[in-house]
A and B are shown apart, each in its own frame.
Chain A
Amino acid sequence: MKTSLQETNDPARMGEEEMAGAANIGSPAAARVRVRTLLAVPVAASVALVVHLLVSKEQPETQSYSIFLCIILGSAIVAAAVQSFSSHLRRWLRHMCPIIAGAVSLSCLWEVITSGLRLLPLPYFPGPAGVLQSLIDDRASLLDSAWNSLQLLLAGYALGVAVALVTGVCIGWFNQARYWGMPLLKVVGPIPATAWIPLAMVLSPSPGLSAVGIIALAVWFPVTMLTASGISNTRASYLDVARTLGAREAYLVLRVAIPAAMPSIFIGLFMGLGAAFLTLVVAETVGVKSGLGWYVAWKQGWAEYGKVYAALVIMAAFFSTIMSLLFKVRDRVLAWQKGVIKW
């Protein structure tokens, strides 16, 4: 009997039979990158360069776009040359080459349609060269706007999330808070935050403060809603287990319900971030006299559409970077979950 008990406790044997689910299959070494893949970017860049040179004969001021294309061409060739030394680079190239080549081709097509064939009316649709030139010319103003937008966004988002987590947990956990909070949430929540702008401008001492408040309100609704639903949907058996382990209410809320609600909370955080971007741009356009939204409206007033597009490019980079950061945080916090969506 004793020996058989020892046998059952032998970790090696257990490991063999029970660790099937835990087996970590190492990823296979990166195979070679196909020549076609490696050539895609240089070919696309060369074509774009030739097209650009042909198209821009009569517009001599757009050297920066040629330089930009040359840099892409040069880096693609260098990367193709050194890829055999680094498996990381190889994997990255195999993944990224098609999409970069696609982007370069698209901007080439854009140039053909706008500057080349002049199918779209100027000045509303400048070519890629014009946009790049605007980006470079007005970089100080754009950076300043982006910085102002970032401050506004972070202040509003942080305030909204902080309040929403508290209200969400309360509504999700306490019956009294749910009784009084839910109707408020259901009535006030669906109003688009931007609809509050007139009121906010009257109430708030400064336009910046009113924008922060409006963004916070926009964030508050989805985060509260999903936090509350995540908390109230905590598996009852987790709470039962915790109770039989001697947990008091603080433990149940902070160590069981909130972690269990995290996946739902993060969905709220993503929805809130989207709402915050939207509200930020609108608030800047109508009230605050700074930021990327304001910049777009301002340049549009001067019919400087190259700068409008430049601001859109910055906005895209800016917002998607913030979104990616949130995904990174999510992946860390929810590492315990299986099968999370990649961003």
Chain B
Amino acid sequence: MVAMSANLSEGSSLSVLNVRKDFPAPDNANIHTLALAGVTLSLAAGELVSLVGPSGCGKSTLLRLIAGLDSPNSGELWIDDVPITAPSAERGLVFQDPNLFPWLTVRRNIQAGLVARGVLHEKRHEVDEFMRLVGLEAFANALPHHLSGGMAQRVALARALINHPKVLLLDEPLGALDAFTRMRMQDEVLRLWQARRTTMLLVTHDIDEAIYMSDRIVIMTPSPGRIERTIHVALDRPRQRSSPEFLRLRGEILELLHFAGNATRDRSPGVGDSSSGQNQKPPEDAKPEEPDLAPRYTESRAVRSPAPPSEPLDAQVIIIGGGPAGSSLGA
């Protein structure tokens, strides 16, 4: 790989220190749902880390905090040695839904960041460069509703990358794509990462995707959301999805997620149950030590709905009382 040289790195290091975040329940501001219970995580500059876990484990919440779209109840977030206080162009965010502005053409969507920062005039030449980078020169004047899911997600990537973010946050960016497009897009994202060496934090439901792409895999558990384990992926790139090492790592992670053994499968009759069923369980039933990961994991992987799950609602409800009034439910 030509672009592997480290001096091209655009990335910054990212530190999350003991971050705690809760949301008030929609109907009662005194009941708070704890979405993140003291999460600590750090990414080196240029690192690609995956965040894996079932719905409700606070992955998206964590990403929104890093993006600066929400602020934590306690704890600190740093980019290099600058604290995160508000959204900024240096932390790009790509959602599962590409969220292209439907009223703008592909070209105008990609240059939106330049317009927003008022630097379109100086950097206009980069628009073509980024359209080439994601292979969409031919569709410069197409409107988003003419694009397929994969193309739209490419535009979203280019739109985030044109600001040269120091950290790129990816919230299940490939979750809504079909399996073939997804694998191709994984290569695409890897290529972009290798070319720019942006620090990337990727939320995913797909273990294969996490192993295929990342340097480290961070496994989170819900109720309340916290980091369970971090796994280093020491395989050389390009990785072979069917190599013995890959499969062995996959097995380890599945075991860690209580998914591999028959015993766990037997005590989970609700495979394919919608995640809303979890809310009806009495709180005593939720055991953070031995989370009921298997059925939810299958469910979320097999039948991913295009709408992002409302994660805070899935988490265990605990009473904190009189929390900050201004915080709102994550969209």
Contact = CB atoms under 8 A, between A and B. Distances in A.
A243 B150 CA distance: 23
Given A11-B135, A240-B64, 4 more contacts: A8-B188, A11-B137, A237-B99, A241-B95
Contact of A247 (B69, B116, B181, B191): B116
B331 A244 contact: no
A262 interface: yes
Contacts of B163: 245-246
Interface in A250-265: 251, 255-256, 259-260, 262
5 contacts: A17-B181, A243-B67, A245-B92, A245-B163, A262-B103
A245 B113 contact: yes
A5 B151 CA distance: 16
A186 B108 CA distance: 38
Given A11-B138, A14-B135, A241 B93 contact: yes
Contacts of A22: 139, 142, 146-148
A interface, over-half SS: helix
Interface string A324-343: 00000000000111100000
A245 B238 contact: no
Contacts of A184: none
Contact of B148 (A4, A19, A255): A19
Interface stretch (B15-23, B83-91, B244-252): B83-91
B99 A8 contact: no
A21 B160 contact: no
Nearest to A236: B331
B112 A245 contact: yes
Of A20, A246, A251, the most chain B CB neighbours within 10 A belong to: A246
B160 A238 contact: no
Contact of B146 (A14, A21, A237): A21
Interface in A226-278: 235-238, 240-248, 251, 255-256, 259-260, 262
Interface in A298-336: 335-336
A286 to B, nearest CB: 43
A266 to B, nearest CB: 13
Nearest to B136: A11
Interface string B63-83: 010011100000000000000
A114 B105 CA distance: 58
Interface in A204-245: 235-238, 240-245
Contacts of B135: 9-11, 14
A15 interface: yes
B241 interface: no
B151 A14 contact: yes
B67 A244 contact: yes
B34 to A, nearest CB: 22
Most chain B CB within 10 A, of A9, A10, A236, A238, is at: A9
Contact of A244 (B69, B101, B103, B144): B69
Contact of B187 (A8, A260, A338): A8
Given A237-B97, A238-B99, A251 B148 contact: no
Sort chain B's interface into a size bin.
35 or more
Contacts of B238: 1
Contact of B116 (A4, A251, A337): A251
Given A8-B188, A255-B115, A244 B89 contact: yes
Contacts of B115: 251, 255
B318 interface: no
Q: B64, B103, B148, B159: which has the most chain A beta carbons within 10 Å?
A: B103
B92 A244 contact: yes
B304 interface: no
Contacts of A246: 87-89, 113, 116-117, 163
A61 interface: no
B102 interface: yes
Contact of B89 (A10, A236, A245, A336): A245
A17 B147 CA distance: 11
Q: Lowest 5 A-B CB distances belong to which pairs?
A: A246-B89, A243-B87, A245-B113, A247-B116, A18-B148
B113 A238 contact: no
Contacts of B69: 240, 243-244
Given A18-B148, A18-B151, A5 B89 contact: no
A259 B95 CA distance: 21
A338 B116 contact: no
Contacts of A14: 135, 150-151
A262 B102 CA distance: 12
A243 to B, nearest CB: 4
B116 A248 contact: yes
Nearest to B143: A336
Interface in A11-43: 11, 14-15, 17-22
Nearest to B119: A246
B184 interface: yes
B232 interface: no
Contacts of B265: none
A235 B112 CA distance: 17
Nearest to A22: B146
Given A18-B151, A338-B145, A245 B116 contact: yes
A14 B160 CA distance: 21
B103 to A, nearest CB: 4
Interface in B148-174: 148, 150-151, 159-160, 163, 169
A240 B331 contact: yes
A246 B120 CA distance: 13
Contacts of B99: 235, 237-238, 240-241
B60 to A, nearest CB: 11
A244 B191 CA distance: 22
A238 B101 CA distance: 7
Contacts of B68: 243-244
